[in-house]
Structure 1
Amino acid sequence: MFEKILIANRGEIALRILRACKELGIATVAVHSTADADAMHVRLADESVCIGPPAARDSYLNIPSLLAACEITGADAVHPGYGFLAENARFAEILSDHNVHFIGPKAEHIRIMGDKIEAKKTAQRLGIPVVPGSEGGITNDEDAHRVAAEIGFPVLVKAASGGGGRGMKVAMTADDLSQALSTARTEAKAAFGDDSVYLEKYLSTPRHIEVQVLGDGKGNAIHLGERDCSLQRRHQKVWEEAPSPALNASQRTEIGEIVAAAMRELKYLGVGTVEFLYEDGRFYFIEMNTRIQVEHPVTEMITGIDLINEQIRVAAGLPMNFTQKDIVLDGHAIECRINAEHPRTFRPSPGKITHYHVPGGLGIRVDSAAYQGYTIPPYYDSLVGKLIVHGRTREECLMRLRRALDEFVVDGVETTLPLFRTLVRTQAIADGAYDIHWLEHFLAEGEGKS
C-alpha cells in the first residue's frame, strides 16, 4: 500500500479523497493555489504545499510544481481526482518516470479513451454498441455530406478531443451541415487545441446512461450498475440517480456485463465510467471517462462500496475486495449538484458564504468542502457541494430529497437550490419521464423559476 498520497485537486473531491486516505491509514499531502489557502482539505491534510497563483494553468495544471511537491514531501503516489490532470496521459507517464504512482488507469487507456474517434473504434472492437456515424475524423465537407446521407439526418458534429458539450453542433438538414462543421471545428480548436471532428446519428429523445466499472489491470473487472444522468443543461449534468428509472433488471444486467467483459479484455485498471445514449430500448456508446466521476456517490449509496478506497487499492497492486456476485443494488439514490450560480440565469456567484447549514438524517449525505465564512473563489468551477440522498425506493428517495433540500441553507451567494426544490416537486421528475433535452425545455418555458 502507498505510504503518502498527494491529492492533485481541490474542493469537495480533494476532501473526499483525503477522507478515504485517512480511513486507509495513508498520510496525505494537499496542494493548493494561493486562492485556496483556507480550503478545508488544506486544513485537514497532514502536509500542504502551495503550488502557485490562482489561475489553474499556473497551479493545479502546473506539472513541474506538482512534481516538486511530490519530491519535497516524499509522496509516493498522486490521486488526480476529476478534472484538471485526471485524464492527462502524459502526466501519468511523467509521474512514472519519477517513480511516483498515478492513481488511475494506464496511460495508454487514458490516451485511447481521450480521443473520441479512437474510443469509438475500441468500443466496437470490444463488443460495445455504438452510435452510427463516421468511421473516423471528417476532413472535408464532401465527406461529411456523404456520411450524413448514409446515416440520415439529423446528425451531430462532435469534437474528437471534446467534452462538456464544447465542439458539438446539431445539423438538422443538409443545408445546416457546413455551418455546423465550421462552428464545431472553431470551438474545438479554441477549447482543446484540436479541430478534428466526426459525425454521429443524432438521437432525438435519448437518456444518458452510464455504467460504473472497476478493474484490477490484470484482467479482472466488474460493473456496479448504472447511473441515469439525463437531467442536463448545455450538456452539463445537473441531477444524477441510480438505478435508472428507465431500465429493468435484465437490461441492467445485460449492458453491465457487456461493459465488464470489455474492461476485462482491455485489462483496465481502476475506476471508470462507460457512457451511453439510450433510446427505444437500445444503448449507444458515446465515451468513456477514465477517472472517478463527480456523481460516483450515488453508486456508493446503493452498493455500499467506497469507490475511492477501491481505486487506491487496485492502483497499489492489491486485489479487488469484490467479485461481480458480491455486487447487490440496494434501494435508490439521487444526487443534486449545488452550484454557486443564479438559479435562473446560471450566472456564477462567487463570494463569501455567510450562513451554511447542511441537512441531516437517515440516508442523507453531503459532499462539500464549503463552510460558514468560506469564500468561493471566482477562478474555478462553481460547485458548492453535492447533496446525495438514499431511500429504499425511488418514491421514498424523492420525499427524503424534498425534505433535505428544504433544510439546506447557503446564504451570501446565489445557488441552484431553488431550481432543485422546484424539480423535486415536478410531476415529470416524479414519473422519471425525462430525457437529455427535458431540463432545457423546462427552463426555456420558465417552469424552473422560483
Structure 2
Amino acid sequence: MLLIKKDLLADLAAALNTLLPGAGDKAAFESPKVAAHGDLACTAAMQLAKGLRQNPRQVAEQLQGLMLASPAFMRWVDAVEIAGPGFINIRLKPAAKQQTVRSILAQRAAYGRQSTDAGQKTIVEFVSANPTGPLHVGHGRQAALGDAICNLFETQGATVWREFYYNDAGVQIQTLATSTQARAKGLQPGDAAWPELAYNGDYIADIAADFMARKTVKADDREFTASGDIEDLDAIRQFAVAYLRHEQDLDLQAFSVRFNNYYLESSLYQSGRVEGTVAKLKAAGKTFEEGGALWLKSTDYGDDKDRVMKKTDGTYTYFVPDVAYHLAKWARGYTKAINIQGMDHHGTIARVRAGLQAANAGVPAGYPDYVLHTMVRVMRGGEEVKISKRAGSYVTLRDLIEWTSADAVRFFLLSRKPDTEYTFDIVLAVAKN
C-alpha cells in the first residue's frame, strides 16, 4: 500500500500543479472519518479554492477529472467521489488491496521498513503516570499508543529512546505519603481523622503494611527498605513511591511495554536544572514580578496569557520543571521529541513551548510534538466504572490483562484514533478474547 499510495500522491501533486503552479506540495491523503466514504480522502480542493478564486466544489470537479485521467489513478482507483463543499473521497480497486497483501506476504517482517529517518535521534515520552496508584486503562491506552509509535519510527530507521517521566515531586506525592501514614496509624476512609483529600484505595493499606513490616522493594535499578518509623513522613513518601513504581513496572511488563529510561522530576530539582532554567529565563528578560509572584512573558510566544512560574509561597508551578525537562531532552541531542499525553494536558502545550523559546537554547518552535488522546470510559455490566484513585474504585490495567490478554487489550485500545473517545466494554472484551 505504501508504494501504491506514493504513486497516487505523485499523480495528485501533478494534478494540483496543473490547476495552480506550485500547489503540488499540498498533495496529501487522510483517512475518511466514516469508513463507508472510501479508503482515502483529500481536502486539497478547499485549500486551492481561494488561490483559484473559485468555489471549492468547482475546484474538486476539475481535480476529479485530472485524477481519473492519471496513470496511477486509472490503475489503482475504482472511484473518485465529491462530497459536501469539496471533499474528495477515493475508493481503491480490489487489486490495490490484493497487491498490498501480496507485498506483505512476500516481504514479511521487512514490509514497510525504510531508512528515511536514519540517524534521527527521537525521544518518545509516554505513560508518565504519577506514582500514586496502579496503572488504569487510561494509562494503558497511552502505553499502547506510545509503544506503537516507537515501533513505527524504528521501522523508518530512527534511533528511538523510550522514556517514562515520573512526577514524583508534587502535591499528589505528599498526599500519597499522608494517606499511607494514616493507614499505618490504623485509620481508615470514613474515620473522623482520615485526611480529607487522601487516597482511599486498598493498595494504600498494602503499602502501609509493607512499610511497617520493613519490607524492601526494587524500583528500576535501586532498592528501598522501609524504616518502619511511622512518624518519618519523608521515609514513608520514598517507600510509597518506590512501591508504586515497582507495581507500575510489573503492569508494564505484563503489557510487554519497555522503556530505556525512567526520568524523575525530583532529579530536576536535585541537579539544579529547575533553578538553572529560571535563571536563563530571567537573564533573557522574559520574566517579570507581579503580586509577589514570578511570571513568564509567554504571550510573547503565542500563549493567550502570561503564566505564573513561581508562586507567592516560593514553590514553582508544574510547567516550570516541564520546561527544564524538555531543555534536558534537547541538550541530550534529541532533535525530535514526541509526548503522548491525555487531552487534559492540552493547556500546557503553549506555555511549555513558550518557555523553551524564551530560554534562547536553540530549541525550534513547535518542539516537542504532541499526540493527545481522549480518556477511556470503562463499562461493566452496562454501568460505567469511574476511574478515581482517591475513591479507590477503578479497573486497573493489570485487571484487564488478566481477564483477557495483553494482545487483546492492545488491539481494543488501538482500534480507535487517539482523539476519538473510546469505551472499553469489559464483558465484550472478555467474550471476544
TM-score by length of 2: 0.23
TM normalised by structure 1 equals 0.23
Higher helix share: 2
